[in-house]
Amino acid sequence: MYCVDCGSSNPDHGKFCHNCGNRLVNPTADVISQRLLTEKEILSQILRMDPKPNQCHRCGSHEEDLIRREFGIAKVISVKRDWSETVARAGISVVSIAAAPLIGFGGFSWKNPSKTTSLQLIKVELVLCHKCLSWAWTTRFGTKLKEEAYRFHPWAKEARTIGYDKYLSSEELKTLKPIK
pLDDT at 84: 76
Mean pLDDT of the chain: 80
Which range among 36-40, 129-133, 151-155 shows the weakest confidence by mean pLDDT?
Answer: 36-40
Overall pTM surpassing 0.75 (yes/no) = no
pLDDT digits (tens, 9 = 90+) for 143-172: 789 989 999 999 999 899 889 999 999 999
Q: Does 30 score more than 50 pLDDT?
A: no
Cα–Cα distances in Å, from 73 out to 27, 38, 92, 164?
Answer: 24, 19, 42, 6
pLDDT at 164: 93
**In 110-166, which ranges are continuous DSSP H helix?**
130-136, 147-150, 156-161
pLDDT digits (tens, 9 = 90+) for 78-115: 888 777 776 776 777 666 666 666 665 555 555 666 77
Give the range with max mean pLDDT: 6-10, 20-24, 158-162: 158-162
Q: Are 9 and 2 in contact (CB under 8 A)?
A: yes
Residue ranges per domain, the chain?
1-48, 51-81+116-175
Cα–Cα distances in Å, from 68 out to 129, 150, 151?
Answer: 9, 12, 15
pLDDT at 29: 43
